[in-house]
Amino acid sequence: MQQKLLIFIFVLLSNSGFTQNVDNKAVAGKFHFYWGYNRATFAVSDLHFAGPNYNFTLQKVKAFDRPSPFSVQEYFSLTKITIPQYDYRIGYQWNGHWDISVGVDHMKYVVAQNQSVLMTGTVSPAASIQYAGTYANQAVVLKEDFLRFEHTNGLNLVSLDIGYQKDRFYFPKINTALSGHLGLGIGAVIPKTDSHVFGKGQDNPFHWSGYGVSGTVGLEARFWKNIFFRAQIRAGWIGLSDILLDNDAPERARQNIQFVQYYGVLGKYFGF
């Protein structure tokens, strides 16, 4: 089976008349736009909560993403395409290699329920009779009546990226180019946080809570000079110093998040 696959690839490349290490200028001076969907993983994170009746830190909290189950309506209906974990970006190629772009990476972040973590800080009886006390690296279980915390609408990284792209292979007979892409980005993080601490909270509005930096690496297949598919990985760090909890009262959370995001996008180069 492997030999047949290798023979097929060799015949395809041979019949396509591919050229290595080309610098295709077809996209120079053009804009581009893409849309796609992602999966994300997160490192453990320390979460700090502060309010009038509590001030505590939870250490090494585990969290996961929440992708929508695939369906044609969910992922391709114009009224629902922003429900899954999506990515979109618009940019400009000022030459055959360098581009600048702005876009949104919409991830979802959900703290895992029923996990055991270490807690340090204080909780007064006014906040919770059950959990009132002073804690010093004591183990607690994150049950529903203790904490429900998620950025599910979502963990939105709005970033300005600088990218470098280089065509590695070109198949003139099928008018297709394969290229590698690297990038660096920095921007604001605007989550919509659903938080309930000791059973009290709400699904908060969108709020600028911090900033993030990230790097990307990916492969792009460009068809007929203008249509492209890109498979990409974005890894980065997010610092959230002003997370809304219950309301506009002085109840806030803060955390730092390290993430890796995997996504595929479909896009188009265009000019005016």
The whole-angstrom separation of Cα 208 and Cα 270 is 32
pLDDT at position 8 is: 45
The whole-angstrom separation of Cα 226 and Cα 30 is 10
Extract long-range pairs of 129-133: CB within 8 Å, 24+ residues apart. Answer: 131/198
pLDDT at position 24 is: 57
The whole-angstrom separation of Cα 258 and Cα 235 is 8
pLDDT at position 249 is: 66
- Predicted confidence (pLDDT) per residue in 19-32, tens digit: 555 555 778 889 99
**Integer Rg of the chain from CA:** 23
Domain-wise residue ranges, the chain: 18-114+146-270
What residues in the chain have per-residue pLDDT under 50?
A: 2, 5-18
pLDDT at position 162 is: 97
What residues does 47 pair with on adjacent strands? 58, 255
The hierarchical CATH code for the domain 18-114+146-270 is: 2.40.160.20
DSSP state of 1: -
